[in-house]
Structure 1
């Protein structure tokens, strides 16, 4: 019989291995019992002559069992091992039948076991082959008895049948052996089909469970499921990241204990669903992470019911709304600023219409009238304040009316060098150290050179005005610094950071969030529009600005500027 390994999974191999061990142990138990019965009911005293066949038989059975077990543990093929056992079983049964009366032995029915088990564990063909071998052995004993060739050892286990009864018995047993082999084969086939169907169903269930688990784990929204007993059954990866609570600390615990005081509103929504059956669709709540960070959430709850409609638990779906809230705030701020800009532009236009005649008239008076003393000082004051007011109006109009960007590919290091050179000649730089450090090498950016120069100049002059007479201002490229995570989704994918650092008095923490607001200034005589304009220019480029400051330790302003694409760099170098 050729060995055949089915297309079964590991579970099928394990089942076959268990069958091999069961056959090995079952054989020893059965044949040991048969031997004991043969010796007990032989009807004659057990002498040495009678002990030897039974002893040899038992030793053979036990020895074969040990050999089978060793082959099995060494990794031998299970089907080949089973086939070998069933073939040897025909031989050991024939030996038992031989010395207990041949065709008249009461142990002839043991021949039925090999075809039956062969059919079940191997195939219909295996059962029929074993039936044929058993039939040949039985028929051989019958013919040997008819010819007087069987030994006459008196064991008392013979049925004492006549010739016609023995012939009838043989004619019945031989087809019965084949029928048993076929029945065993069909039974084995059905068992294998059932086992395979069960394995396929289990595999399909595992795939479904894996797909469901994979979908839940990879959702961007947080998911929590709580059963009717209040035990957290599922807490996916997104939920862990949003609430900063690890999966292991949540699953399998009562939800009132697992969530803690930071998730009080979260717990209340689940309790309402579990105890009152109240489902919530998109409720706005907030939680506090273990590090003290407050996070706004949008949460929905749905009840889990069995087919009879009884509540089995609740499922909660929630999302982190921090980015949404920040986006809403930025949109609201931009709308407000746009409205302020339009209003300011109108006011500035009217003021300039009035200012131009005043400043022009004063200049004419200065030329025509040779005033001296206090009158001359007053005229100079009018001219200076008119110029300052004109500068303010110009900045206000720059803020209100955005100039279109004319972007080009530039070498960032060269842009910074030119800006620093100009700033070093500004009156604010007298007696102070201003230098460009940490040069970035071959870093190209895609910007409007004039507007970006305005941004950098504004930051450098602010830094120079913030330091003492012997203060220090450094400008550098920090190409390795990562862009702000909170705003990265709005920014260009590839950015480079420029830092302007001073050792001035610093900015108080409450004021840091206000410095980019229009008309907010801590400088005496400042308009409060410089940083607002700079921030708007950078945002229009797809970049961002960030400030880091401590009182008494100075301030660092960071500007993320979009890098040039590889195509733009190639064109720039070719030019």
Structure 2
């Protein structure tokens, strides 16, 4: 397992996170040194005649600037681990700084002697118990030495009180720190157990897992990710990795980019891994995690796996369904052909007897011609249905496609004069890739059906809009979003008992209908990797064709509220 930030092991002692406390130490140290220096120069008039105190204040201020600057660079810019040596050095310097402040402000009678307490308490939290007591002892030594050094302030009982307070603070802080460490060990043990369980799962899972931040740096990769990608990811931990992955699995990188760019919590896609000597399909699921707004806290995790077996099974399933469909279609076609052939045969048998008058003969001849035409039309429509395929793929503006179909429907002789047809398409790009003629046929079939079933004075609407998230959840073909093309009528609605058979070939409820119109709609949508939705009630019906949007034209997804039934 590869991690940018390694988890804490169970045998390492528990420590509080020192970084926030150390930052406050920097701020407090700089503030105190600055205040004393400014006061020595501008406020304390006697300090102007006491060059010794002014010199001490100046040296303390300069030393504080230097030490704090070096410490900030070490801990913040270089990000080095803050070990015991660092904390010992910081505590010793702070003790000398406080001693300088106390010396300038009155030695043992100084009100700033309480600053020793802050240094001792902070050291007890950051250092082991012995380290905190050692810092307290050094503080006592410095305080006593300053009191003895000062000529103006005698060594009185006040000093002993201060020393007792320092010792009490050191012991109390050490006890509190020990209790925190003891409580932390139990929590750390539980966390370590959880980490080990998660690590074991991620290490042995049969899916590749990678996690990157908003800048494309690799934060995590499990062994299966390396195996699937055929790439050693160790050198990329903590470094940009997406360009290296793009040469091997471009769809995987595109899915990660989309998830990070659009902040989609969960998304699915499919792609191909092309490594040396091998090429296989993969399924990808990405999960986006929002941090506190910084790029390093925003991450996307991609889980991917080899779906070659699923693809083979899917191919076999589709082949079996296709053969089953051919069998059903053949039976339906045979049934449709049987009746006209029976009529033609009967007419021919009667004509062969030559016992009819001219009028009867003309009637039988007309019957033969009519049934022959019916057979010809049936076979032509069947061949059109069988040849439904994408002859060429080109960018198609769905709004223009809808407008053209509406103009044709308005001029169609089967449209009642009092039924209006309107097209509603907002401004924007609604581009898909496919066969313009095939999609036009599918849309016009829906439009013509809607016009024919609409009630008197009714209206048929063609709507073009962005597909909703709910509609896009039906499959992985919509990685770039989708376009929804709807035909809405004001007819009587579709009865529940026939909804499941609407797209079956040769099923029709219209007198004289072939039953292939909606079957063509379904097949045309299917070969464009789309889906057909049906939403109907007692009055009115909405057919919606959802097609994958052409790459690089995807807008933000909109939330859908429809309770439509998907037909696939």
Q: TM-score range by the shorter chain?
A: 0.3 to 0.5
Larger Rg: 1
Higher RCO, 1 vs 2 (CA within 8 Å, ≥6 residues apart):
2
Q: Give the TM-score, by structure 1 length.
A: 0.42
